[in-house]
Chain A
Amino acid sequence: MRERLVIALAAIAALLLAYNLYHIFLVLPDEAAQGAIYRIIFFHVPAAITAFTGFFVTLVLSIMYLISGNLRYDSLAASVTEVGVVFACVNLVTGMIWARIIWGIWWTWDARLTSMLVCVLIYSGYLMLRRAIDEPTQRARLSAALSIFGFADVILVWKSIQWFRTQHPSPVLSIRTGGGNIDPAMEHMLYLNFLAILMIAAALVLVRTRQETMAREIDSLRRLANAA
């Protein structure tokens, strides 16, 4: 059942991506000042929103684990975080490549870029913490606490371009600005590509969760073998 769902998600995402890429390269108009490079936005922004969606889901799952003590929430939170970190890295790297052309520099320590880097470091720390602790309950409790505190940085990343004067462009999505900062056709494509990337992320989370279940089974069987 899970394998079928993964295949279905991946297939729909691939079809949607093919449709999106055709429109991104051949249908959408060029951006007047930036040339072809502006098209990076169609992966840069959706990758960030996918990562933030993942970190929000991790926050909810961590709270649910702390309330219920059910390790399934912890496993799911770990899977979602790992996939979230991958897409946060995609966001950072594509942003740097865009910046090299538009700003003339790969990196600047402004509030948006720095808080996003800190975000990647916090959630990478979450994954490293999990490797460092063997006892499942202690690992789950500390991971949940870290992800709850870590989410504060996600809010900082999201709001940084409104709270601080940054080199990073101001918000463009109409849900934040009320409209007028981006061509509606380009914004529509941003949401469509977010959907495709979110489906890829969901498929990866399903695969990763299966692995977490296997790891838990190995752990409990080892304990059983050692107890004998």
Chain B
Amino acid sequence: MLLSAMDTRNFTFMFYGFLAAWLIVLIYIVSLARRGARLKKELEQVRNLVSSKHP
């Protein structure tokens, strides 16, 4: 295949488009990781609570 020199018209907005797309996905991944950590902690606490009530 032939390597082409890219037409740079509107390059800035193309960059914004790619940046926005990955930023949205990245923000979601971070929120998912934080929620996962919170749920893990919460599950541990509830397990301890139940085992203390039902030894």
Contacts and interface: CB of A to CB of B under 8 A. Distances in A.
Contacts of B28: 83, 86, 204
A97 B3 contact: no
Contact of A211 (B1, B17, B32): B32
A5 to B, nearest CB: 16
Interface residues of A, number: 40
Contacts, number: 105
A93 interface: yes
A165 interface: no
Interface string B13-55: 1101110110011001100100110011011001101100110
Contact of A36 (B2, B7, B39, B50): B7
Interface stretch (A27-35, A67-75, A138-146): A27-35
Interface residues of B, number: 34
Contacts of A217: 43
Interface of A: 25-30, 34-37, 39-40, 43-44, 47, 83, 86, 89-90, 93-94, 97-98, 100-101, 200, 204, 207-208, 210-211, 214-215, 217-218, 221-222, 224-225, 228
